Structure 1
Amino acid sequence: MDNAVIGKVSQKGQIVIPAAIRKALGLQKGTEVSFEVKNNEIRIKKLPTALDWADLVKQIPVENIEIDEHGHYDPKAHPDFHDWMVNG
């Protein structure tokens, strides 16, 4: 969504976020947002919820690595781990 939308500040200092923007960002009643002021502009960001973090963590790959008493592992048995360790 690259279109600018104009709103007004109410007597109580409130601004209504247009429905199209709320829908695009998934903003609902109770959604937390952060405000940042920089160079005479306000940036509003949706804060991640616990569910957002849980979904993100689910995407992290898991590999059980067999490490010996000297801290060594078999890179052939664990090629993904080896590539991750070498390439970062």
Structure 2
Amino acid sequence: MAGNPRNGRPYRRLVDWLRAQRLPCWLCGHDIGYGLDAKHPMSFTLDHLVPLSRGGQLLDKANARAAHRRCNSSRGNSTGAQRQPVRSSRRW
């Protein structure tokens, strides 16, 4: 395989599919600034439920999650079982 697979058309289609759903961050539960510059810490990034370094599939829709850039970076390559539970945005 030549080049970076994250620059390819299949990966961009997956990112566009996930972005179109306008989901909140799966890690913290807060809304994502979909219109923000890509370098902003609260902007959208595609995160993988099972990190690629741990055998997760790059182009699997079931492995794709919407996340803030900051949340995705702070999670690193930990698995979903090691992450903090999503907090509710309201007190019930």
Higher normalized contact order (CA 8 Å, seq sep 6+, divided by chain length): 2
TM over 0.5: no
TM-score (norm 1): 0.24
